Amino acid sequence: MSIPTPHITAKMGDFAKTVLMPGDPLRAKFIAETFLENSVLVNNVRGIQGYTGTYKGKRVSVMASGMGIPSMGIYSYELFNFYGVESIIRIGSAGAIAPDLKLRDIVVGVGSCTDSNYVHQFNLPGNYAPIASYELVRKADDKARELGISNIRFGNLYASDTFYDDAQSLAAWKKMNNVLAVEMESAALYMNAARANKKALAICTISDCPFTGEACTAEERQSTFKTMMELALEVAED
């Protein structure tokens, strides 16, 4: 396949080497307008807005991934394999599984557990454990210390295929004390990065606590998770 792809109309070179990927297109727009200098819209197919600009002199892109593993699977695959992107940093919302996590705490996904069948396409003779790039994890730890971010945890995410889960699976995952939060994209991102020999990391902000009922509003999710955004921008590689 050549570019443009069925989902991205950008030209070769329009994306920086690092792309930040929120799920929400409006969050991508907010980041571009708030943090990037001289940002240019490079993709808007299906309203999936992608921008490229500079942050502290460093060229960075931001584009939405949409919701769920299939959507993240499509966009990250095309960025890694057709547009020369070397690193993708997911910046999204997550639900707390660990009982001590609070709203707006930050979770860095060192690994990603999942109930998805996404891995089956690789025809591996066993189970595969999707993990983040060690270089990006280490850099996130270093930058969080520099920025004085204290409400941050490193551990496993649970990438679920279901938002409305009839089986109420979170109670079972809660038994594993290093599975910190649930979201819906990280596993596909980590698998695509591994297959393409690229780098990936998911940095998530706790937007709700399913076991207590606490939750941020949709507007808050879109525009107030600035600590996560700034951390990702600092971690981004030029």
Catalytic residues: 208
Query: Following DSSP, what letter does each residue of 85-140 receive, concatenated?
Result: --EEEEEEEEEE-STT--TT-EEEEEEEEE--SGGGGG--SS----B--HHHHHHH
Tokens of 29: 């727009």
**Locus of tokens 């460093």:** 58
Q: How far apart are CA 97 and CA 177, in angstroms?
A: 9
Q: Is the dihedral of CA 95, 206, 79, 40 positive or negative?
A: positive
Q: CB neighbours (10 Å) of residue 188? A: 29
Q: Where are the beta strands (DSSP E) in the chain?
A: 18-21, 37-43, 50-55, 58-63, 87-96, 106-114, 152-159, 179-183, 199-209, 214-215
Q: Quick check: helix, strand or coil at residue 209?
A: strand
Task: Look up residue 33 and give its amino acid.
Answer: E
Residues 140, 82, 11, CA angle at the centre, nearest 5°? 100
Cα gap 20→51, rounded to integer Å: 10
